Structure 1
Amino acid sequence: MGINKIIKERRSVREYKSKKVEENVINDLLNDFTNKKRLTDDIKINFGFIQDGKGLYEKLDGLVGYYGKLIKAPHYIYITSEVKDGYLENAGYIGEKLVLEATKLGLGTCWIEVSKNMDKVKEILSIEKDQEIIGLFTIGYPKKERKVGGVYDTEGKSLSPLTEFGYSNIDVKYTDAPISGRKSIEDITYLNNWGQKATVEELEDRGIAESFYYMRLAPSWGNRQPWKFIIRGEKIVLAVCKDEMVSEKIAKIEAGIAMLYFELMIHESGIPGKWVIRNCDNEYNIPENYFIAGCYKI
């Protein structure tokens, strides 16, 4: 299955069959991530698998999830990270890679936010003190297909449409027109400096229009699509809008996910390069209500 099809089929799942996922499938999924490419290799990051989903649900229900209500699943995976500059973007990038790989295998997942009761959750999961819990994933065979646009099942006030609404099927025909409430390519790209909109023709001439087309399918809180890309020479800068309704943690995790989607598609088109998430200077007149998440260097 091509990566563009996997991206289009990616969804968050809230209801699962009781059937257990085969041990060899889980082992292959997690072992593959030991040496998986990350945004930066100097940040220690770990995945943990919980075979007994029912047992963990009984321990964590009331501590994490939407108003403390945890999604029931046959299994769970948690992701932890060393706290260093860029760790949230890095965790979003590698965590969403796992979600896409699970999608390829026919498995359902859902990111679950862990921000409250952190110490208690770390104690239950026996997580090292120097590691921060980035999120918890449900994993299993979906009970029914439901497509949604948010990253997280969030704690407290709902921060995504995931608990209430789905979104319509994605049109597979390549077009610049908005799809499923998505912004057009021209709405998220600038040439050389902030405010100088790029045209589809200019992006096509550079061979990167399709990469932005699929990047728009990256999930974000409330489908707000907070991204702006500035293309200058052989560098592409990702700027993300700050939002008082969205925590810095979620905003940076979503930035990592956006970087992953763009990178997967631009590599698919045969254009090499990598993201740099540190030392990206603001030379592009980016306004103060945006932060620079990373620079892609071709």
Structure 2
Amino acid sequence: MRFTSLVEDMKTIRDFKKVVVDKSLIEEVMGTDNDIRGIIEDSNDSVVFIENGKMFYQTLVGGAGYYGKIIEAPHYLAIVSDVYPHHKENSGYIMEWLRVKAWRLGLGTCWLSIEDEKELKNYLRIKEEQEVVALIAIGHPYKGIFKTDVSPKSSRMGIEDLVYLKGWKNPCKIEYLDSRGLTNIFYYAKFAPSWGNNQPWRFIIDGEKVFLVIDREEKSSGIDRGIIMLYFEKAAHEEGFTGKWNLDIEENLEDKYNIPQNHKIIACYNL
């Protein structure tokens, strides 16, 4: 199934069945090393499967959670990474890709914030020099007849609020995007989840380049950046634009595009 078909209906799940997930499904989600390659070449990230969800939940109450509250699930997945430039972006990209794969297999997931990394590292027996960067709950969604998901769907800004042409706050019209075959890319990119669904990103198109601009005060410390790069890149590939993100950004681009001081350009995608 196409990436774009999956993410339009994909939801965060906070209520899970208490049954374990078949190992074959977990293995398919985690895949091989080639399946979890992110935006950084030769990165040394690893996905850790936490099988005993009940013990993890009881041990980590207060140490991780969704808005500070740990979500009880049969299992959890964590990404452990060395510290290198853009390692948080890379982990966000990888973990969100695992969430999409899980959804395709009928599994639900929920992003969890890491409140006490030291305690989490001790639990997972992680090397001191490494970080536990990303954490999700995973399992079969609970669909009992006596419990209905009443969570409101998050509102998201439209394309014309997110995409600028050749400069900050210079709106990019849908007609222009249509003429270049770019509309679907930005349409599906806007479904990318973010902390508090704040959508702390904007895009600037200049010729064959698309720049990703991020709010310097974003809460996720890089995770959200990796997530939006995944959504944009996968949607672009399905539209026939087979480029990739470049995080080695030249200096003074903020001045060139009149970027305000509380924002910065962090990546460029060559169409």
Q: TM-score, normalised by structure 2?
A: 0.90
2:264 corresponds to 1:291 = yes
2:118 corresponds to 1:119 = yes
2:211 corresponds to 1:241 = no
2:224 corresponds to 1:254 = yes
Distance 2:150 2:200 in 1: 20
| SS of 2:95 mapped into structure 1 | helix
| 2:142 alignment counterpart | 143
| 1:213 alignment counterpart | 187
Could you tell me the percent identity over the aligned residues?
Answer: 39
Q: Encode CA deviations 1:13-45: one digit per residue, 9 max, x unaligned.
A: 111112211111111221335543311123321
| 2:156 alignment counterpart | 182
- Describe the shift of the 1:256–1:21 C-alpha distance in structure 2 as closer, same or farther (beyond 3 A): same
Return the letter of the residue paired with 1:37: R
- Describe the shift of the 1:111–1:297 C-alpha distance in structure 2 as closer, same or farther (beyond 3 A): same
- Describe the shift of the 1:195–1:78 C-alpha distance in structure 2 as closer, same or farther (beyond 3 A): same
Aligned match of 1:265 in 235, 256, 261? 235
Regions of 4+ moved over 6 Å: none
CA contact (8 A) 1:242 1:290 kept: yes
Distance 2:67 2:105 in 1: 30
Per-residue deviation, 1:66: 4.6
Q: Encode CA deviations 1:244-268: one digit per residue, 9 max, x unaligned.
A: xx43xx0421111111111111110
| 1:149 alignment counterpart | none
Per-residue deviation, 1:113: 1.0
CA contact (8 A) 1:218 1:258 kept: yes
Q: Encode CA deviations 1:236-288: one digit per residue, 9 max, x unaligned.
A: 00001233xx43xx042111111111111111011110001122441322111
Q: TM-score, normalised by structure 1?
A: 0.83
Q: Encode CA deviations 1:215-242: one digit per residue, 9 max, x unaligned.
A: 1111122322222111111110000123
Return the letter of the residue paired with 1:6: L
| 2:166 alignment counterpart | 192
CA contact (8 A) 1:237 1:295 kept: yes
| 2:151 alignment counterpart | 166
CA contact (8 A) 1:78 1:136 kept: yes
| Gaps in structure 2 of 5+ consecutive residues | none
- Describe the shift of the 1:38–1:135 C-alpha distance in structure 2 as closer, same or farther (beyond 3 A): closer
CA contact (8 A) 1:280 1:295 kept: no
Q: After superposition, where does 1:35-184 map in structure 2 within 5 Å?
A: 35-66=35-66, 69-114=69-114, 116-144=115-143, 166-168=151-153, 181-184=155-158
- Describe the shift of the 1:34–1:119 C-alpha distance in structure 2 as closer, same or farther (beyond 3 A): farther
| SS of 1:121 mapped into structure 2 | helix
Distance 1:136 1:49 in 2: 10
Per-residue deviation, 1:88: 1.0
| SS of 1:113 mapped into structure 2 | strand
Distance 1:221 1:41 in 2: 26
CA contact (8 A) 2:164 2:203 kept: yes
- Describe the shift of the 1:106–1:97 C-alpha distance in structure 2 as closer, same or farther (beyond 3 A): same
- Describe the shift of the 1:37–1:206 C-alpha distance in structure 2 as closer, same or farther (beyond 3 A): farther
| SS of 1:14 mapped into structure 2 | coil
Distance 1:275 1:30 in 2: 23
The total of aligned residue pairs comes to 264
Return the letter of the residue paired with 1:46: S
- Describe the shift of the 1:67–1:229 C-alpha distance in structure 2 as closer, same or farther (beyond 3 A): closer
- Describe the shift of the 1:138–1:206 C-alpha distance in structure 2 as closer, same or farther (beyond 3 A): same
CA contact (8 A) 1:252 1:293 kept: no
Aligned match of 1:274 in 224, 234, 244? 244
CA contact (8 A) 2:20 2:139 kept: yes
- Describe the shift of the 1:66–1:200 C-alpha distance in structure 2 as closer, same or farther (beyond 3 A): closer
